[in-house]
């Protein structure tokens, strides 16, 4: 029997995981308020999957929970969500952190008593009233920041892949988190600041702004000792912009909905690294101030 899977954060990614994993394992979806017990997932091909799920809050969850906990809140809620539940969790509970950016990954890997794996995913999903739309298939990579728990990562990657979310266990998740963060930093704050779709970055007046951001990112990454992607930073950023040209990026969606953005998780590590290495990062700093 596959271990219980507790999904904390019943938003877009949490709902996608909950519906997909519930075909293979006992799944509980946990929110600040009780999440819906019936969810409809619209797959990228338009097919609709309906699922009944166990729904809990931190107060109602039976203790001790034993299994795998997928933390699918925004980065700025992750620590509080875990703190609110910690008393209910067996100390060896495995955590999978799904947040964008690179902040809580470091602190929870250091502080949590059990195994902590980090995931980086290019799956795309958004919430609807009665469920979730899986907007597009992507790739997920999963691993421990310092390469530990390789067997656990393999098992969970196999489970996620069987559930329809293509996933690979990797030994270099640290580098992959930096790479995703750098690409997000070159796109998200600019499109959020100017309220444009990703593809508009290809045109004037935005193109030179992206180029200037890439120049800053390259210096920070080099100073931090992060190897560039095989295709190079410039090609990577422009490839993602091309591939997501029609997207409203997550940070723009947050701004439009009046929610806080994940600027601390995405720009914070870059600005910290720039400070540590004595580098100027005027474009990144200005965007940090602009996006709120
Ligand atoms: N959506 C996507 O396609 C992708 C998302 N990601 C990353 O995944 C993370 C989650 O994103 P996404 O699903 O879009 O975000 P959402 O805002 O849709 O979902 C976050 C959920 O977390 C809930 N939450 C907040 N605090 C708590 C708490 N204390 N206990 C339980 N639940 C809580 C929120 O509930 P409430 O309604 O109460 O605020 C909300 O339902 C982000 O870091 C994002 O960058 C990465 C790749 C793709
Ligand atoms: C790659 C990108 C920018 C695609 O929109 C993304 O990951 C996001 O929206 O957060």
Q: For this structure, is 88 an active site residue?
A: no
Protein residue with its CA nearest to atom 4 in ligand 2: 249
Closest listed ligand to the CA of 183: 2
Q: What pLDDT, on a 0 to 100 scale, did the predictor assign at position 198?
A: 95
Q: What pLDDT, on a 0 to 100 scale, did the predictor assign at position 9?
A: 98
Q: What pLDDT, on a 0 to 100 scale, did the predictor assign at position 136?
A: 87
Ligand 1 centroid vs 98 CA: distance in angstroms? 9
Please, what are the domains in the chain?
A: 5-171 (3.40.50.720), 175-291 (1.10.1040.10)
Query: Which segments within the chain are labelled E, that is strand?
Result: 5-8, 27-30, 38-42, 48-52, 54-56, 68-71, 94-97, 116-121, 124-128, 131-136, 140-143, 167-169
For residue 81, the SS3 value is: helix
**CA separation (Å) from 99 to 9, 130, 217, 220?**
11, 23, 20, 22
Q: What angle do CA 109, 76, 139 make, to 5 degrees?
A: 65
Q: What pLDDT, on a 0 to 100 scale, did the predictor assign at position 2?
A: 85
Structure tokens at 154: 């393999």
Q: In angstroms, rounded to a whole number, what is the distance separating the alpha carbons of residues 130 and 48?
A: 12
* Phi, psi (rounded to 5 degrees) for 238: -70, -30
Q: What pLDDT, on a 0 to 100 scale, did the predictor assign at position 1?
A: 66
Ligand 1 centroid vs 180 CA: distance in angstroms? 18
- Over the range 127-151, which residues count as b (16 or more CB within 10 Å of their CB) and which as e? eeeebbbbbeeeebbbbbbeeebee
Helix axes 173-194, 207-224, angle to 10 degrees: 150
- Ligand 2 atom index nearest CA of 188: 3
Q: What pLDDT, on a 0 to 100 scale, did the predictor assign at position 21?
A: 97
DSSP state for residue 195 in the 8-state scheme: T
pLDDT digits (tens, 9 = 90+) for 185-214: 999 999 999 999 999 999 999 999 999 999
Give me the average pLDDT of each 10-residue run along the chain (292 residues).
93 97 96 97 95 97 97 97 97 97 96 97 92 93 98 98 97 97 97 97 96 97 96 96 92 94 97 97 96 86
Protein residue with its CA nearest to atom 29 in ligand 1: 81
Ligand 2 centroid vs 247 CA: distance in angstroms? 8
Question: What count of residues does the chain have?
Answer: 292
On whether ipTM exceeds 0.90, the answer is yes
74 lines ligand 1 (CB under 6 A): yes
Q: What pLDDT, on a 0 to 100 scale, did the predictor assign at position 112?
A: 97
Q: What pLDDT, on a 0 to 100 scale, did the predictor assign at position 19?
A: 97
| Ligand 2 pocket, CB under 6 A | 183-184, 187-188, 198, 240, 244, 247, 249-250
Q: What pLDDT, on a 0 to 100 scale, did the predictor assign at position 221?
A: 97
Identify the active-site residue in 15, 20, 180, 263.
180
Q: Is it true that the peptide bond before 282 is cis, omega within 30 degrees of 0?
A: no
Structure tokens at 145: 């920041």
244 lines ligand 1 (CB under 6 A): no
């Amino acid at each position: 029997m596959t271990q219980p899977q507790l999904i904390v954060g019943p938003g877009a990614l949490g709902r996608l995981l909950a519906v997909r994993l519930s075909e293979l394992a006992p799944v509980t979806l946990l929110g600040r308020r009780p999440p819906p017990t019936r969810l409809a997932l619209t797959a990228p091909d338009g097919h609709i999957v309906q699922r009944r799920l166990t729904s809990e809050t931190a107060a109602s969850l039976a203790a001790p929970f034993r299994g795998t906990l997928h933390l699918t809140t925004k980065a700025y809620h992750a620590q509080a969500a875990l703190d609110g539940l910690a008393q209910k969790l067996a100390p060896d509970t495995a955590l999978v952190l799904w947040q964008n950016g690179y902040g809580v990954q470091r602190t929870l890997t250091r502080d949590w008593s059990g195994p902590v794996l980090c995931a980086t995913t290019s799956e795309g999903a958004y919430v609807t009233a009665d469920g979730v739309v899986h907007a597009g298939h992507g790739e997920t990579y999963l691993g421990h920041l310092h390469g530990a728990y390789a067997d656990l990562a393999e098992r969970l990657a196999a489970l996620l892949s069987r559930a329809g979310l293509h996933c690979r266990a990797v030994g270099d998740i640290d580098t992959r988190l930096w790479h995703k963060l750098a690409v997000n930093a070159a796109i998200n704050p600019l499109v959020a600041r100017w309220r444009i779709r990703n593809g508009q970055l290809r045109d004037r007046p935005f193109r030179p702004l992206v180029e200037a951001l890439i120049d800053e990112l390259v210096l920070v990454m080099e100073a931090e000792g992060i190897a560039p992607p095989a295709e190079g930073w410039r090609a990577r950023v422009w490839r993602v912009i091309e591939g997501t040209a029609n997207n409203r990026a997550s940070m723009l969606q947050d701004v439009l909905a009046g929610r806080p953005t994940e600027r601390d998780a995405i720009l914070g590590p870059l600005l910290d690294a720039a400070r540590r290495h004595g580098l100027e990062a005027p474009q990144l700093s200005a965007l940090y101030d602009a996006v709120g």
